[in-house]
Every structure is written in structure tokens, then in C-alpha cells.
Amino acid sequence: MAATDFKDYYSILGLQKSATADEIKKAYRKLARKYHPDMNPGNRQAETRFKEIGEAYEVLGDSDKRRKYDQFGQYWKQAGVGAPGRNPGANVDFGGFDFSQFSSFEEFINELLGRVGNSGSRSTGNWNYRTNTGGATGFSGFEDFAGYRDSASASSADTEGQISLTLSEAFSGSIKRLTLGSESIEVRIPPGAKPGSRIRVRGKGQVNPYNRQRGDLYLKVEIQSHQFFQFEGDNLICEVAIAPDEAVLGAQIDVPTPDGTVTINVPPGIRSGQSLRLRGKGWPQPKGGRTDQLVKIQIVAPKDISQVERECYEKIRASRSYDPRRNLQYVRL
């Protein structure tokens, strides 16, 4: 290997030689995620960079390989290679040796043979050796990140997508048919899917180029807006209008819920914006049961009224004892 072919694995991972094992692993995960072929389809540069990162981590992530690399530099793979019948590296002290003075491994080996010969243990036979000039095509320790795992630990490249559901489909559960390229699959939607939740479809992700296994498909749930029901945390919320006389006198009103209409009591004197709670009428929970439905009251004054209603309202105004703005007289800067 020529000196110009030397790969600085620390530089490839963006680290100093003093980096800890945890810092090496963290840097590898970050860069492998960034340059993974599945994240950069068709990008040859990213693929080459990804292989370099894997090669660097294969060496620096292994304490024994890293020790040899730190000591022997570009010749770390040949470290310990010896003549036939010899104990590799026996009686040879490499401490403080400057490998940068050699432009090739052949030059280094000649010098090395001379040193061994001076110790009286030089072999007179032919020494056949082979230099591995090919870059690493694989890597080890590819741990969980961004849905990808190594071939030794699990499956393959997971894939994410989105699925749009009506409120009814999400509430009751349903079966949706999706098309993945030329493949058509059925996805079972469990009852109670919420916005942002993910549905896992096993074995329907991408094919891992390294182990040829297929990952999982994760579908992020989007729920289409509804004209009446909305989410508030885990609960459902809705707005219901009442008339001024219902707010003053109280009333019984009918309110829609996901599974039918119920009658609730509106207490006298309720204010606009207050909420009434319908326990167990909200959204299905994964472990069973339902959350609550909150009914937000809005007091709505009619715009078009009959002559009789107008006369009644005028009588109320003339005899009303309640002043809703009485506290405003005490407001000061």
C-alpha cells in the first residue's frame, strides 16, 4: 500500500485519535444514518462514503484492531505477519517506529527482515505475502438507528409512509387496501388509531441490500378533519350551541357521540365556553375502555326573532336585576 493510499479512519469519522469508544460509536451511527444507501438512492458518492464509514468503524470499533491501527498505521493489517513456522512478530519491537518513511509495504518488509536478521533468527526461505488492497465491503456493529439494523441482529431496512383515515375508520377500525409499487396489500387498522400513531406492517418494507431480508412498513396515521368532533389530548371535544333562555333556565339537550345521541342536562346559569363531560364516550383506548367526550357550550343569541320574542326580551331588559358589567366601574390603569 502506498503512503498516499493510507486511509485515516479517525478523519473519516470526524474524530481525534483520542476519541473514546462511545464517541466512535456515536459518530459512526450519525454518519451511517446520513449516508445510508436507502437514504440516498442512486447516489454513488454517498454509497462510497457509507462503505468508508463502515470500514473505519470495523477497525476503530474493535479494540484489538484499533490498537494495531494506532501502532502500525497503514500497515496494521500486515502487523504480526511472519515467516512460515515463526511466531508472528516475535522478538520484534515496533515501539516508536516511524512507518511514514516507507512508500510501500515492500520497503517496510525489507527493513523489517533486516531487523529480524540482526537478531540471529532470520529465515532463509522464500517469504510469500499478500497485501489486501481492497476496501471493506461490509461492516460490523450496525446497531439500531432510523429503522435500520444489521443482518446479525434482526431484519432489514424499515420503511415509513402515511395513511389517511376518516374518523369513523379510525374509531371503529377497518381494513385498507394499499398499493406498494406492483404489490397490493391489505392493512388492518385497529380501533382507536390516533393522529400521529404508527401502524406496523411486518415484512412489507424495503429489501436490505446486505442481507436481502425485507424490513417492516410503518404507517403514520393521519385522520381527516370532522365537522363536529375534534381531539383534545386523549379526549374528544365538540361544541354545542344553546339559546340564551336555556343558559338562564337550564335545559335538557341532545348531543351526538361517536356511537349515538345522548341527552344531557345543562345547568342553569352556565356560561359560554364552559364544558360538560360525558365520561366513557370519547376515544377507544389500547387496553380497553374509552376516554371522555367534552361538550363545550356556546351561548348563541338569535338574529331573527318574532314580534312576541322581541316583546319578551324587552320586558326582561326593562326588569332585569343582573348587570353583567357591574365590575367594570372599578377598572383603572
Beta strands 235-242 and 293-299, pairing class: parallel
pLDDT, residue 244, reads 95
The fold for domain 159-223 equals HSP40/DNAj peptide-binding domain (2.60.260)
The more confident residue out of 180 and 283 is 283
Q: What confidence score (pLDDT) does residue 106 get?
A: 55
Q: Which regions of the chain carry the CATH code 2.60.260.20?
A: 159-223, 230-319
Residue type, 226: H
Query: Residue 68: which pLDDT band, with cuts at 50, 70 and 90?
Result: confident
Residue 115 confidence (pLDDT):
45
230-319: CATH number: 2.60.260.20
User: Which of the listed ranges 182-186, 274-278, 303-307 does the model predict with the highest average pLDDT?
Assistant: 274-278
Residue 219's pLDDT is 92
Is the CATH number 1.10.287.110 carried by domain 3-118? yes
pLDDT band at 45 (very low <50, low <70, confident <90, very high): confident
- The 10s digit of each residue's pLDDT in 206-216 is 888 777 788 88
Residue 157 pLDDT grade (very low, low, confident, very high; cuts 50, 70, 90) = confident
pLDDT above 70 covers what percent of the chain? 74
pLDDT of 205 reads 85
Instruction: Determine the pLDDT at residue 313.
Output: 93
Task: Quote the mean pLDDT of the chain.
Answer: 78
Tell me the average pLDDT across 247-261. Answer: 96
Alpha-carbon distance 273 to 275, whole Å?
6
Does 138 have pLDDT greater than 70? no
For residue 284, what are the β-bridge partners? 290
Say yes or no to pLDDT of 43 above 90.
no
Tell me: pLDDT of 153 over 80: no
Give mean pLDDT, residues 281-304.
94
Among 18-27, 28-37, 93-102, the minimum mean pLDDT is found in 93-102
Report residue 86: phi and psi, to 5°.
-100, 155
Residue 105 has pLDDT above 90, yes or no: no
Range with the poorest average pLDDT among 105-114, 181-190, 289-298: 105-114
- Tell me: pLDDT of 139 over 70: no
CATH 1.10.287.110 in the chain is located at 3-118
Please give the span between the terminal C-alpha atoms of the chain, in angstroms, as a whole number. Answer: 83
